[in-house]
């Protein structure tokens, strides 16, 4: 039997809990502690999942207990310092998206990880979703021919917290909601993005008393790839109809649709004037349940087998570049090239 990987969970909030739940299906890994600054959240999470230890800081955890790896689920501005501290202590790192706020931060992360020879995996769980994985393999096998056009969207319920909708502290919805789409665009098309043009709208801000500057709750990005292909990314948040993450690709030979609105296959009709009713995916933990289990299984297995994980820092950096170009585009009302961001 392989060694069981000991993991320190950093952040005990919504994502930390989701990943802790996923770990309960992964015999090869075990969360031995949670690091969380808010005492109440820390205690609640530790109790819910039966963690042995809890700490206020990663420093405290490093001092007191042994572990192999960290899973970082805290807000974006903490990503660089936490990653640096973990790497310098030779811990492998699973880092939630978005990787960082700037390309400079991404580069600093890539550097510290490389210098310390630890693994870095980004939380792009769609790369581990059974449907997305099957789709990618079929695209790569040439089933739909050379990809010409891709459309990806993430629409979700719930107004993001203030920090997550403020361009200064999080780069806003394009980062917090659509990071996965930026990664999917590049992954499925096997091409980097060349330029983007973004339009945004603010429909619900006033009703939600949002006074964040440049707040938007709808975004549509037009993408030109280096390969010559076209792409579209859309984000809507909050939207009350469910959690909606779908992709559609047209290649020279055909079309492929990945994902659907429909959840459980339990269809009911009790009124012919109303129609058939089918459950919808309500939340991201529900839609991507296996994807979360699979990405963390992969991380654990990579540490056990000493092989570098898929979905690494380079992928995270390109997603951040997309976010920054997309944001600059709507602020300046012009198409923005990714090389403007990367070479800046």
- Using CB under 8 A as the binding rule, whether residue 158 contacts a second copy is answered as no
Radius of gyration of the chain (CA): 20
Span of 5-13, 112-120, 226-234, 318-326 interacting with a second copy by CB under 8 A: 226-234
Please, what's the b/e burial string for 307-318 (b: 16 or more CB within 10 A of its CB; e: otherwise)? eebbbbbebbbb
What is the rounded CA–CA span in Å between residue 163 and residue 171? 9
Of 338, 319, 58, 311, the C-alpha closest to 183 is 319
Please pick, from the candidates 57, 218, 304, 328, the single residue that binds a second copy as defined by CB under 8 A: 218
What is the rounded CA–CA span in Å between residue 143 and residue 257? 13
Nearer to a second copy by Cβ, of 146 and 169: the residue is: 146
Contact of 48 with 77, CB cutoff 8 Å: no
What's the token pair of residue 236? 């809507």
Please pick, from the candidates 131, 166, 210, 342, the single residue that binds a second copy as defined by CB under 8 A: 131
Q: How far is the CB of 197 from a second copy (least distance, A)?
A: 5
Span of 66-74, 86-94, 134-142, 164-172 interacting with a second copy by CB under 8 A: 134-142
Nearer to a second copy by Cβ, of 63 and 275: the residue is: 275
Helix (H) or strand (E) holding 72: strand 69-72
Span of 35-43, 105-113, 147-155, 298-306 interacting with a second copy by CB under 8 A: 147-155
End-to-end Cα distance, the chain: 49
Count of CB atoms within 10 A of residue 40's CB?
Answer: 9
- Using CB under 8 A as the binding rule, whether residue 155 contacts a second copy is answered as yes
Span of 35-43, 127-135, 162-170, 182-190 interacting with a second copy by CB under 8 A: 127-135
Please pick, from the candidates 41, 65, 85, 149, the single residue that binds a second copy as defined by CB under 8 A: 149
**Burial of residue 227 (number of CB atoms within 10 Å: 0-12, 13-18, 19+):** middle
- Using CB under 8 A as the binding rule, whether residue 81 contacts a second copy is answered as no
Please pick, from the candidates 40, 275, 305, 306, the single residue that binds a second copy as defined by CB under 8 A: 275
- Using CB under 8 A as the binding rule, whether residue 206 contacts a second copy is answered as no
What is the rounded CA–CA span in Å between residue 323 and residue 208? 24
Please pick, from the candidates 159, 261, 301, 342, the single residue that binds a second copy as defined by CB under 8 A: 261
């Amino acid at each position: 039997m392989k060694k069981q990987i000991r993991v320190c969970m950093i952040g005990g909030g919504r994502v930390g809990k989701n990943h802790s739940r996923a770990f309960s299906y992964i015999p090869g890994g075990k969360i031995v502690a949670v690091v969380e600054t808010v005492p109440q959240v820390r205690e609640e999470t530790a109790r819910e999942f039966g963690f042995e230890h809890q700490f206020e800081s990663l420093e405290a955890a490093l001092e007191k207990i042994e572990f192999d790896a960290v899973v970082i689920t805290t807000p974006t501005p903490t990503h660089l310092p936490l990653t640096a501290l973990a790497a310098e202590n030779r811990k492998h790192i699973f880092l939630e998206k978005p990787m960082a706020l700037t390309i400079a931060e991404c580069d600093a992360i890539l550097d510290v990880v490389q210098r310390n020879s630890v693994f870095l995996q980004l939380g792009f769980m769609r790369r581990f979703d059974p449907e997305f994985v099957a789709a990618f393999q079929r695209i790569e096998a040439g089933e739909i021919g050379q990809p010409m056009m891709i459309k990806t969207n993430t629409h979700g319920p719930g107004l993001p917290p203030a920090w997550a909708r403020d361009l200064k502290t999080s780069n806003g919805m394009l980062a917090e909601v659509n990071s996965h789409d930026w990664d999917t665009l590049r992954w499925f098309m096997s091409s980097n993005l060349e330029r983007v043009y973004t339009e945004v709208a603010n429909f619900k801000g006033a009703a939600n008393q949002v006074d964040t500057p440049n707040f938007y709750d709808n975004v549509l990005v037009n993408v030109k790839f280096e390969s010559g292909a076209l792409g579209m990314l859309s984000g809507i948040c909050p939207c009350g109809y469910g959690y909606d993450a779908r992709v559609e690709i047209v290649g020279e030979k055909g079309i492929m649709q990945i994902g659907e609105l429909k959840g459980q296959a339990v269809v009911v009709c009790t009124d012919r004037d109303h129609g058939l009713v089918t459950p919808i995916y309500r939340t991201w933990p529900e839609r991507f349940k296996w994807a979360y289990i699979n990405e963390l299984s992969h991380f654990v297995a990579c540490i056990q087998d000493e092989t570098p994980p898929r979905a690494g820092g380079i992928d995270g950096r390109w997603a951040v570049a997309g976010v920054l170009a997309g944001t600059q585009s709507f602020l300046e009302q012009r198409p923005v090239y990714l090389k403007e961001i990367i070479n800046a």
